[in-house]
Structure 1
Amino acid sequence: MRKVILFFLILSSVYSAQIKPSAKFVSSGGVVDLITNKDKIYSATSAGIVDIFDINTQKKVKSITLPKIKDFMGDMVDAKIYSVDKIDDKLLILSQGSGGYSRAFIYENEKLTSIIDESSYMAIIKAKFINKNTIVFGLLSNEIISFDIKTKKRNWTNQASGAKFSNLVINEDKSEIVIADESGILKIMSAKDGKILKKLKGQNLDNVFQVDYKNGIIATAGQDRRVVIYATKFDSAYYKEANFLIYSVGLSPSGKLAGYSSDENNNISVFNTITKRKIGTYTDNKMTLTNIVFIDENRMLGASDDKTINLYKIK
């Protein structure tokens, strides 16, 4: 009898760990990039639109549509948005441009202003604010550039490595940039002058698709099916293995929780980065995960190539 009770207790705990979304937000297209700022969600989509949602009311409050571009056949098509970022009242939007190059815009006071266009001949993959007048971006070639928005000139340029660029993230005080690429080696770069401060290696053996950096903790999503946790304060690292390619990863603000795409069903596994204990599995993502973003220690967003953004309660 005790064995039967124990069996059902274990079975119950397993199924209780399968957590469905508490709410859903529907974007205009597949979600490519996702950020939160105060009580808003900013969703950059493949449809050339940035959708803004209110977290509390769970309603869409605004959509920003970019001008269409010409494809290689000369047809006008939606400009896929690669990344979005926000500082003060400025929104930075990086998108696909004509001819295989990229465009960047600043949206402020209901006005969309171009700061980089196709004439720059740059294939930019990701862009983030350093401060209200400076952005940093990574090119496909893994050239990292600090750019002055007002003068439209480069502050510094650094070739992070010869490997293809994947992703970049900036720490909270915007002093350090972490670069991820197909080598599996992370580069921590100074935001001030672009100098490489440190290299983190030996954990990911292949391309790192995505990286996050919160409160001194760095997490990676690897093609080698490894999610790696680096504790830069203690110069320590470990990895967890999945049964499928890990396309996306995110950290809670404290760095104590990490979420990663853990299987072929597009589920998100969340674990404690200190104890390594699994918290739960978060379900109902219809397509390949593109973003995992923690609003706080108790709420998390999961977005994919689908239009739907799932909101989960962690505790």
Structure 2
Amino acid sequence: MNTVKILLVIFVISFLNANEIIPTKTLNISAGATDLVINNDKLFVSTSAGIINIFNLKDFKLISNITIPQIKNFMGEVINSKIYSIDVLNNKVLILSQGKKGARKIDIFENGKIRNIISDEKQLFIARAKFINDEKIVLSLLSNELLLYNVNKKKIIYDKQISQSRFSYFALSENKKEILIADESGNLKLCDVKTGDLLKTYKGQNLDNVFQVDFKNEKIITAGQDRRAVFYSKNDTYYKESNFLIYSCALNSKGTLAAYSSNENNDVTIFDTSSRKDLHLLKENKMTLTKILFIKDNEVLVASDDNKINYYKIKE
């Protein structure tokens, strides 16, 4: 039996051992989801339609919406401003969205008003942005430059070229002192947020672009174009293999559970990171996944390009 057949057998057996689960509840959102953030018992969902839907996390009832002003495209047509990422800190919402002529802009929504932080006139092609504290945000450009930016002074603190490979995604440590950056090389770079200095490189596991990465409790999971979900910890490194591109991944708060999009049906496999055993298979996701988020160990949200988010309550 050749290597491909052996891997296929292992893959099938693993799925047969996983407990299939259908959504407990489905949330209707304005358009395809681009980012999910939980803050103060609220779920913030950014969408490709330029709208942020805010839900009560206890009953998933819609509380309110934040709508970004529309923009003009290259043809002069008025279109919705796609939101690429969001973050929430002290009742402030950080919003990275599409600007004029393909550039990106960053705004902060606070007290019912939108305040511009970085204008699209600067022609920065920002891919992702998150709060560090009330004064500073960290952002990555598509060119894989890492920037620390002072919001109040509107000043770049540093601008570091992380690598020559195109940027894909980043995740912050819980204390926001470290940032893990993924790119099309498959390598991961761990950097110091305060200085932008490189601390460590993880390489040799993903062989192509890493679409997403999560970083919790000094543990890492990746979502790879090479169909590998790689798990890193201090004591172990291994990967789970899929029969399809892996677009999304997530860890629970302790890093004891990991989830990844595991097949062409957009199912999500949850596995125990210590035993490597597949535990659950989350079903009925209709489109390409964009975000997986653990609320608790037994509660998971799965978002996609669809205008619905699936919520799974797993029996313990």
TM-score range, shorter chain: over 0.9
Q: CA RMSD in A?
A: 1.4
CA deviation map 1:281-302 (0-9, x unaligned): 0011110000000011110100
Aligned counterparts, 1:90-169, within 5 A: 90-169=92-171
**Helix, strand or coil: the match of 2:101?**
helix
Number of aligned residue pairs: give it.
302
Structure 1 match to 2:250: 250
Structure 1 match to 2:270: 270
Aligned counterparts, 1:1-315, within 5 A: 14=16, 17-231=19-233, 233-234=234-235, 236-314=236-314, 315=316
Question: Quick check: 2:206–2:228 contact (8 Å CA) kept in 1?
Answer: yes
Question: Quick check: 2:18–2:279 contact (8 Å CA) kept in 1?
Answer: no
Query: For residue 195 of structure 1, what is the amino acid of its counterpart?
Result: D
Query: For residue 51 of structure 1, what is the amino acid of its counterpart?
Result: N
Question: Quick check: 1:254–1:297 contact (8 Å CA) kept in 2?
Answer: no
In 1, the alpha carbon distance for the partners of 2:82 and 2:17 equals 38
In structure 1, stretches of 5+ residues that fail to align are 1-10
In 2, the alpha carbon distance for the partners of 1:230 and 1:36 equals 25
In 2, the alpha carbon distance for the partners of 1:197 and 1:15 equals 39
In 2, the alpha carbon distance for the partners of 1:277 and 1:39 equals 31
CA deviation map 1:193-247 (0-9, x unaligned): 000000000110000000000111111000000000111x33x311110000000
**Helix, strand or coil: the match of 2:107?**
strand
Query: For residue 212 of structure 1, what is the amino acid of its counterpart?
Result: D
Structure 2 match to 1:4: none
Question: Quick check: 1:95–1:103 contact (8 Å CA) kept in 2?
Answer: yes
Query: For residue 304 of structure 1, what is the amino acid of its counterpart?
Result: S
Question: Quick check: 2:140–2:146 contact (8 Å CA) kept in 1?
Answer: yes
In 2, the alpha carbon distance for the partners of 1:73 and 1:178 equals 37
CA deviation map 1:93-116 (0-9, x unaligned): 100111110011111111111101
Q: TM-score, normalised by structure 2?
A: 0.93
Identity level (%): 48
Q: TM-score, normalised by structure 1?
A: 0.94
Q: Flag as ranges the 4+ runs of structure 1 deviating above 6 A.
A: none
**Helix, strand or coil: the match of 1:131?**
coil
How far residue 40 of structure 1 moved from its aligned partner, in angstroms, is 1.1
In 2, the alpha carbon distance for the partners of 1:49 and 1:87 equals 18
CA change 1:15–1:270 in 2 (3 A) is closer
**Helix, strand or coil: the match of 1:158?**
strand
CA deviation map 1:148-190 (0-9, x unaligned): 0001101111101000000011010000000000000000000
Query: For residue 309 of structure 1, what is the amino acid of its counterpart?
Result: I
Question: Quick check: 2:35–2:47 contact (8 Å CA) kept in 1?
Answer: yes
In structure 2, stretches of 5+ residues that fail to align are 1-12
Query: For residue 209 of structure 1, what is the amino acid of its counterpart?
Result: F
How far residue 15 of structure 1 moved from its aligned partner, in angstroms, is 9.0
In 2, the alpha carbon distance for the partners of 1:15 and 1:187 equals 34
